Amino acid sequence: MDFGFIMEAFPQIAAAIPVTLLMVFVSAGIGWVLGLAAALVRKNRTPVLSQILAVFVSFMRSVPSVIVLYIAYYVMPAVIYAYGQNIGWAIDINAVPPIAYAIFALTLSQAAYSSEVFRAAIAAVDEGQTEAAYSVGMTRAQALFRIVFPQAFATAMPNLGGLFVGLIKETSLAYYVGVYEITAVANLLSIPKLNFIEAYIMTTVVYEILSFLFNKCFRAGESRLKRFRANAAG
């Protein structure tokens, strides 16, 4: 164990935590909203769109995240470039930071995974709840937002927590598309003097702490939402 290296490297690894968290929060924030929208579209069986979404979800859930990241990394520049040409801008592709591609890929994968979570959660809400809401004169939107969503979120919460912690771990793969997050920094610091053990133990500790903290947060959220659960009310 080289404690000098640990003292020197730890602040730099810790400094990369915001990069990881930025990816996590943006991808989860946008991805889950898209996922909820996708779940509603598939629940309403909107023709064409719901079939396309079904294929998309199946693809994103079956293909390893590394491959999704790489595809985004190689496709996006071409798309952005072509778009720039269309609107007459010369966009400098090299100015786009790699983290944008990573966030794009992670957002899509979160959208796919969370849409399945939301779909199951919405389906778990008793059909009678919606009917009761209509019978007291609520509109479709009101029934959805006031009656169905609170109950569905209570059911979805544990799975969303798992998804979130999984996302934290997945961001480590962004290293392969050139994002300087926790794993990448640790790896780069360890190479000159081959301090692999120290570097990866530190990385492990950082990820364990992050997972632990967010697990706690979601547990707390779960117990707060419990009052919306049908069986807890009884």
Partner 1 sequence: MNYTYDFASIPGLILKILHAFPLTMGILLCALAISLTLGAAVAAGTMGRNRFLQSLCKGYISFMRGIPTLVLIFLLYLGMPQALKQLGIDIGSWNKAVFIIATLSLNASANMAEMMRASYLAVDKGQREAAYSVGMKPFTAFRRIIFPQALGIAIPTLGNNIILLFKETSLGFTIGVIDILGRARAISAASFGANKLEVYIASGIIYWIICIVLEQASRLAERAYTKGRKKAAG
Q: Decide whether 62 or 137 has the Cβ nearer to partner 1.
A: 62
Q: Decide whether 13 or 154 has the Cβ nearer to partner 1.
A: 13
Q: Decide whether 101 or 149 has the Cβ nearer to partner 1.
A: 101
Q: Decide whether 73 or 149 has the Cβ nearer to partner 1.
A: 73
Residues that bind partner 1 (CB under 8 A): 58-59, 61-68, 70-71, 74-75, 77-78, 81-82, 93, 165, 168-170, 172-173, 175-176, 183, 187, 190, 194, 196-197, 200-201, 203-204, 207-208, 210-212
Q: Write the CB contacts of 206 (distance below 8 Å, at least 6 apart in sequence).
A: 13, 14, 17, 182
Minimal distance, residue 41 CB to partner 1, in Å: 22
The SS3 assignment for 197 reads: helix
Look up residue 224 and give its two tokens: 């707060």
The DSSP letter of residue 139 is -
Minimal distance, residue 31 CB to partner 1, in Å: 18
Q: Decide whether 148 or 173 has the Cβ nearer to partner 1.
A: 173
Q: Rounded to whole angstroms, how far apart are CA atoms 212 and 196?
A: 24
Minimal distance, residue 222 CB to partner 1, in Å: 16
**Residue 16 contacts residue 185 (beta carbons within 8 Å):** yes
Q: Write the CB contacts of 233 (distance below 8 Å, at least 6 apart in sequence).
A: 227
Minimal distance, residue 204 CB to partner 1, in Å: 5
Minimal distance, residue 194 CB to partner 1, in Å: 7
Torsion of CA 55, 61, 65, 70, to 10 degrees: -10
**Residue 40 contacts residue 191 (beta carbons within 8 Å):** no
